[in-house]
Amino acid sequence: MGLKIIVLAKQVPDTRNVGKDAMKADGTVNRAALPAIFNPEDLNALEQALRLKDKYKGTTVTILSMGPGRAADIIREGLYRGADKGYLLTDRAFAGSDTLATSYAISRAILKLEKADIIIAGRQAIDGDTAQVGPQVAEKLGMPQITYAEEIISAEKNKIVVKRRLERGVETVESPLPAVITVNSSAPACRPRNAKLLMKYKHAKTITESQNASEDYINLTADRPFLIIPEMSVNDIDADAKWLGLTGSPTKVKKIENIVFQAKEAKRLTAADDEINDLMKELIANHTIG
């Protein structure tokens, strides 16, 4: 029996390689200066879903991403790796959402999709680092949640067994299905994009993206309906406007401080004897050692 899995994935600015233009003067993230990538732990989550798909015949993996139009890239990246379908949850009304409003919108969207057995997300996104959206989605859907997952050991007979990575070790827990799982970066890295899947899905577009597409593309989608990435807006998810976007977000930013790292100039040494010698002398001279 196949499982129905939804993977929650977010497009984030790549905060791992931050240059000096990463922040704007007002203290917000300068998204234009940072490349947009698939949130790293969401890739770990996708890999767990794809492994279940490899293991249990008939399993389908659906990506759900909330974000602006360009977040369709995330859906395509997921399709290239083996996801079966993707939905982009996108609407101006979602702008300014904090974790509460985000999890509300996502949970409403999940209810509109085919009933899922497992919802898998990354532990947290590298832009906000809150780790709240996964657990909040579970709460809103009334599902049990397993956080810090490192490996989904099995998902059979309405029961899921998961290994969790905790601060002082690992524990293996069990939960009834459906359930929400959030995955750690210590879980296996996601498989690479597959050549055939990439060639199959590279023309996949959302309705919005296809508005500027050529006639050739329109003709192509007539034969290949899988090239259409469905979009969901506020109107598609039966949401109450007061829980959405800025109005639905109780989190208020009180103050932003610019932290300037005071690190001194770095020094590069090779393994050569003379350089190590010099370093020893220097460290003894400034009483770091000795």
Partner 1 sequence: MANFFTDNPDLKFHLTHPLMKKIVALKERNFADKDTFEYAPIDFEDAMDSYEKILDIVGEISGDIIAPNAESVDQQGPKIENNEVVYADGTKQNLEAIVDAGLMGITLPRKYEGLNFPIVPYIMAADIVSRADAGFVNIWGLQDCAETINEFASEDQKERYLPRICKGETAAMDLTEPDAGSDLQAVELKARYDEKTGQWYLNGVKRFITNGDAHISLVLARSEEGTHDGRGLSMFIYDRNHKALTIRRIENKMGIKGSPTCELVFKDAPAELVGSRKMGLIKYVMALMNGARLGIGAQSVGISEAAYREAIEYAKEREQFGKSIIKFPAVYEMLAVMKSKLDASRSLLYETSRYVDLYKTYMHISEERKLEPDERKEMKKYQKLADFFTPLLKGMASEYANQLAYDAVQIHGGSGFMKDYPVERIYRDARITSIYEGTTQLQVVAAIRGVTTGGYLLRIREFEAMPLKPELHGYRRTLIIMTDEYEKVVKAVTDVNDLEYVDFHARRMVEMAGNIIMGYLLLLDTERDTKYKTSTDIFIKRGKADNHAKANFIFNSSIDDLGNYKHNDSE
CB of 21 to partner 1, least distance (A): 19
Select 54 or 238, whichever has its Cβ closest to partner 1: 54
How far apart, in whole angstroms, are the C-alpha atoms of residue 74 and residue 63? Answer: 9
How far apart, in whole angstroms, are the C-alpha atoms of residue 248 and residue 140? Answer: 14
CB of 248 to partner 1, least distance (A): 36
How far apart, in whole angstroms, are the C-alpha atoms of residue 149 and residue 132? Answer: 15
CB of 268 to partner 1, least distance (A): 7
Select 117 or 151, whichever has its Cβ closest to partner 1: 151
Strand partners, 154: 161
Please check whether residue 103 is in contact with residue 64, taking contact to mean a CB–CB distance below 8 angstroms: no
Angle at CA of residue 115, ends 109 and 118, nearest 5°: 90
Select 14 or 236, whichever has its Cβ closest to partner 1: 14
Select 17 or 286, whichever has its Cβ closest to partner 1: 17
CB of 43 to partner 1, least distance (A): 12
CB of 115 to partner 1, least distance (A): 28
Could you list the residues that contact partner 1 (CB under 8 A)? 16-17, 191-200, 202, 216, 220, 223-224, 226, 268, 270-272
Select 177 or 228, whichever has its Cβ closest to partner 1: 228
* Residue 267 neighbours by CB under 8 Å, 6+ apart: none
How far apart, in whole angstroms, are the C-alpha atoms of residue 273 and residue 146? Answer: 51
For the four alpha carbons of 192, 65, 60 and 141, in that order, the dihedral sign comes to positive
